[in-house]
Structure 1
Amino acid sequence: MPTDLELQVKTLPNSPGVYQYFDKNDTVIYVGKAKNLKKRVSSYFNKNHEHGKTRVLVKKIARIEHVVVDTETDALLLENNLIKKYQPRYNVLLKDDKSYPWICIKKERFPRVFSTRRVIKDGSEYFGPYTNVRTVYALLELIKELYSLRTCNYDLSQEKIDAGKYKVCLEYHLGNCKGPCEGLQTEEDYINDLKAIRDILKGNFKESLESLKKLMMDFASVMKFEEAQKIKEKLESLQNYQAKSTIVNPSINNVDVFSIISDETHGYANFFKIMNGAIVQSYTTEIKKKLDETDKELLELFIVETRQRFNSLSREIYVPFKVEVGKDIKVTIPKLGDKKRIVELSERNAKYYRQEQFKQIKIVDPDRHVKRIMAQMQKDLRLKEEPRHIECFDNSNIQGTNPVAACVVFKDGKPSKSDYRHFNIKTVEGPDDFASMEEVVYRRYKRLLEEEQPLPQLIVIDGGKGQLSSALKSLDALGLRGKIAIIGIAKRLEEIYYPGDSVPLYLDKKSETLKIIQYLRNEAHRFGITFHRNKRSKGAIKSELEQIPDIGKQTITNLLRKFKSAKRVKSATLEELTDAIGKSRATKIFNYYHSKK
């Protein structure tokens, strides 16, 4: 597999979506859907395929494109649209070009509700498309169970009803229809049922559930328990049903959707073309900023360029904010509903593309990746310079024993483990975190100054205002205040404190800057705890052997070198002990343990 293709596969998202394979002539040769894009596309390159055509297909792939969607259902529908549009060589094409079913509420007096595969622009309402005809039948069955609707195709005009042209059919006698053909049901009552049906088809069950509950309680209050039970069954049917996903509202036709997200150096823009309620085209690209352009400027440029490139004649566009693209195009900024959701889906595709670019840059151009991260941290933390060298301090003591501290060092946003340092607290008695922090920071930077080692651009103190103040005392004593930026991060709410500022800074929980600071803090904690644990363990071993009368430190060292632990010393035979430290001392140790027994 070529390197650039391998890179594309590595950075695909673990999300449902549709992928397209292009050959060296930039022709679509295959369109597929996936629950997990990364796993599915990777599988083409990670195994030997039994079928010769699949092996040929894989050899011909020169480029991969993909579209992220909300659900697997959306992926299926989008795949269908793209196959019909491009008719790729390696996809199965249905000869009858069968489309997916919709549920139609017909534009007529006493509207019928039925399934259809043909969308006719006659003012009727269409809901769908649905990927499974059984879903449509189940939904229509549910509607029929809950509401009494006509199934005949009579023209129920008021004149014909008044003239008595129609007679009720078997559906009326079975209780499935209330007989509007004979004027036994008013149009207002019928329209109220349709309103509830629309809510169900859109996935809004609240009002229908509430009205059915009220009806059930009304029947129960007058002892009509059989009728109440029937309503209860309808309620259960409605509660168990989950509205199936649709890709786009069918009322959205011939519309272009644009969105953009950006960082310090680049913008990432996405374009969807929607025809007859479905996405038929998707395009995402990276735009390099030259003069720190705004998102508005970049998006306007992208809209004009993309519409020209794809020869789009759409009269309306959906965008996340106001843009100026000429008087001939209607600009819509959706606030809610299906239109808002399609803009959000466009933004998500732009975000995924940005993440993939970051991953690829990290592999191919690590310098650019580091520069971007450093620029972001400098901006987020309001620093004078990029924090290429960061040091983080953490204190560790458990019940006041063996107080130690750790200093971890990050260079270019990554751990530099050879520069990590441990500190035994020397001048502080008992568990005093503030005094310990003051001592450690002083010792660390006094040494760096004496050895003329480079100082960090940022110091991170694991703790709030108290620990930060203690660290500042040491920097003052060394004349480093103002030369090194210093912040404290409180454990509970990830609050970042600055010297002389009582109001903390709260970073975005998803920001890369906060993630690096949390990584620093966690690394310092891990490093300090490991050192503390080892120190306590060694202390416990030595203290047990030191209790033996007339046994010195060198003897203990020799024993631990030979037997590795106090437990093995205790279980050793007299002969084994004699071989290690001589008969006299071996007898004392052997008698000490065995006389205790």
Structure 2
Amino acid sequence: MSEAHSDQLLSEVAALPALPGVYRYFDAQGQLLYVGKARHLKKRVSSYFQKNHDGTRIGHMVSRIARLETTVVRSEAEALLLENNLIKTLNPRFNILFRDDKSYPYLKITGTREAQRPLAGRAPSASTLFPRMAYYRGAVDKRHSYYGPYPSAWAVKESIQLLQKVFKLRTCEDTVFANRTRPCLLYQIKRCSGPCVDLIDQADYLNDVANAERFLRGETQQVLQMLEQRMLAHSEKLEFEQAAEIRNQMSALSRVLHQQSMEVGTDQDVDVLAVKVQGGRACVNLAMVRGGRHLGDRPYFPAHVEDASAIEEQLANTADAVDGPEGAPSDVAERGAVDESERTAVRVLEAFIAQHYLGAPMPPVLVTSHVVGKALLEALSEQTGQKVHAVHNPREHRRRWLEMAQKNAGIALTRLLSEEGSQQARTRALAEALQLPDDELEALRIECFDISHTAGESTQASCVVFEGHKLQNSQYRRYNIDGITPGDDYAAMRQVLTRRYGRIAEALKAESGEAALPAGADVAVAVEAEGADPNELLRGPEESAIAEARSGGEMPAAGPRMPDIVLIDGGKGQVGVAREVFQSLGLDLACIVGVEKGEGRRVGLEELVFADGRGKVYLGSDSAALMLIAQIRDEAHRFAITGMRAQRAKVRVGASQLEDIPGVGPKKRARLLQRFGGVRGVASASVEDLATVEGISDELADAIYRALH
């Protein structure tokens, strides 16, 4: 195998130190292939090049290695954390990868921490005097208390409703709270104690807030005892109405505890992790217990499971011989995983734990379906500053939690395999209908365009991408269309296709030695991706390693990539425009496919129109190929409409006024508009009201006020 590699690469391998670290393999195009860790870099990396791996997945990977990079660290724990940080950030081709999900919601109680600090002369806000509950996603503000994370928005809102029933805390915005003159409907239905109109003393309200926080921390018995003491104290003073109110609170809390059949244990915060592996795919089901309450679960599906597991399996013997076990199958076998699917499950579980909890809060106890390695737990303990335990084969209520998580993992994986099977069948049916080769359906790429406007106003074009049997929403693009007659869809389509494919055509001609496009050709691409996951660098010693791996110093840009199918939502007219654009750019007309409405514009009667002279094709209303085309076309239509509406709203309400204020980015602008109901509401708000919005300091609030006045 080493004969296929350059002398420079082999000499770099021979010169590696006998220290712990992380290694990265790149191919000739600069694409990251694999990230691994080692206690002994030289021995571990050398093992890849000392054995013939022909005909295997690892052989396929090793044959592509053109460049090596390493980072030396102080310990194996540090190497493990850096390895998974790089995997999350750089998405290597042959590692088990979980999508970086930062979208967990929290339950926020405002002002509780600010009340514990001196205000430096400032008057306390309503959020401090009478804290409110709120659903929250985003960055943490030290003035407030946050409980969670919760697995879903539904779990947060259910908890808020529960706390409203028992403790009657307010949920209204500060601006609403400050301007109430009579109690709202929530007071009438006994979901709020009416602090906005002084129907409860501040001290009593803050007692309710403190009890709600204790309940969220799982201190339910302490809450009941404190309520009982308050009830008896009121009774002794002959304050029977107040005593009855507290008695009702205790009854409501007792009913809630009785209804929560899953919450019979004494656990405070626990995560339950179950893995299911089947058909080359895997699912990790994460169930969350917070404050002793089971809040629900969420499935995660890693990428590259089959390739990564095969590589680690094939590396086992060589790796153990030269470097000892490092999560290799022999190490996994010691922890009870005897067959290949079980070993894969352990690898998937450990990859999830390492990647999911990097830089994120985690509970002190994990209940797992498989045994987790000690090195991983030690690394997480070192990172979090608290001892992390993993419990396998649990008892009592924990066993019920784990059994439920295992069942849900199996259900989610079965559903995924069913959906993937049907989607692949649709892709194959479309390839057959269009007479495309079906040997590389994973690489089949479809780009679909749609135009949207309202009577010519705020015209936008959308481009959605289908590849790898699924829609790739991180590659979606929107184009603002300017310089055309309002409502001219043909001109809009001409403009978007020229901008989309002009640069690709220029690059293809440059490669073939032909003349480039005329100077000044409109090939600029206006980009706005929906659903893209931003790569987030973690602070610390890993940062330079990530940046180095990302840039690589020598990575060439990816070459031009024309789609196999350019799908146009329109009939002969739109296809004719596409034909003119492609002819002027020198591109293949065979890839242009139009979707023409059928008789009476009825769904299922659509016909395919081609730009290269082929006759129309009717697929049939029950055709799998038509189902796929309809799915892609409808997504392009949805994406265009949402962009057009946002652009129209921006023009009509003048959101650009906020954009021009230094320090007001998209998130702060969205919070301001949401809080005050539009730019007019922001303009009419006082400096004090503006400062109550998350992320808006007193100085920025003053700057916003001055800019809008």
| TM-score (normalizing by structure 2) | 0.28
Tell me which structure has the larger Cα radius of gyration: 1
Higher relative contact order (CA 8 A, sep 6+): 2
